[in-house]
Amino acid sequence: MKVYLIKTNRESKKLSYVLFPLIFEQEAGKAISYENLPRSEHGKPQPIDGIHFNISHSGNYWCIVFSDSDCGIDIEMNRELNARIAHRILCDNEMPINGDLLHNWVIKEAYVKMVGTGIGAGLASQSAAQIIENNQATDLSSEEFICYAIGKDSVSEVVSLGWDGDKFHQIGTD
């Protein structure tokens, strides 16, 4: 799997309309608009010419994962989740990873995006440990955000870019 992690100078929520076509064309050599993505009944983007991908954004970060098979990614700005919602995230006897509910949330959201059920299927249906055990889960987190990419293969490349609204600039490549 290959991940593009993009730091922007503004809120990332609406940037999929701009960034997706640019990154997809760079990665796949094919132009396609975000509005015209084929989607499943639960909104999961469908593969294009055998290329599987998934998108996430939070704060001023936007990311996309590419793979030859189903994949999911989630990113959330690093923050403390209210313990009152633990019952919606954790299944019986599950403990927060690193004492932090947000890791469990992000792992589970990336997983349900990979399988295409959406979070309506329930994040507490299986533990984050089970998801990690049965899939390749790559932790891409930093001090600023929690991010996991999940698929059948592990992440082999991460391209970190900055986006100033007009052009990309290289931040680093792993």
Q: Over its length of 174 residues, how does the chain's per-residue pLDDT go in tens digits?
A: 999 999 998 777 788 999 999 999 999 999 899 999 999 888 889 999 999 999 999 999 999 999 999 999 999 999 988 888 888 888 888 888 888 899 999 999 999 999 987 666 666 678 999 999 999 999 999 999 999 999 999 999 999 999 988 888 887 544
Between CA 67 and CA 135 the distance in angstroms is 14
Between CA 103 and CA 145 the distance in angstroms is 10
Q: How, if at all, do strands 71-77 and 145-151 pair?
A: antiparallel
Torsion angle, CA of 89/92/98/104, rounded to 10 degrees? -30
Q: In the prediction, which pLDDT does 132 show?
A: 92
**3-class DSSP assignment, residue 87:** helix
The residue behind tokens 């004492």 is: 99
Q: In the prediction, which pLDDT does 124 show?
A: 64
Q: Number of folded domains in the chain?
A: 1
pTM for the structure as a whole: 0.92
Q: In the prediction, which pLDDT does 41 show?
A: 86
Q: In the prediction, which pLDDT does 118 show?
A: 67
Q: What angle do CA 120, 54, 121 make, to 5 degrees?
A: 10
Segments forming the whole domain that contains residue 83? 2-173
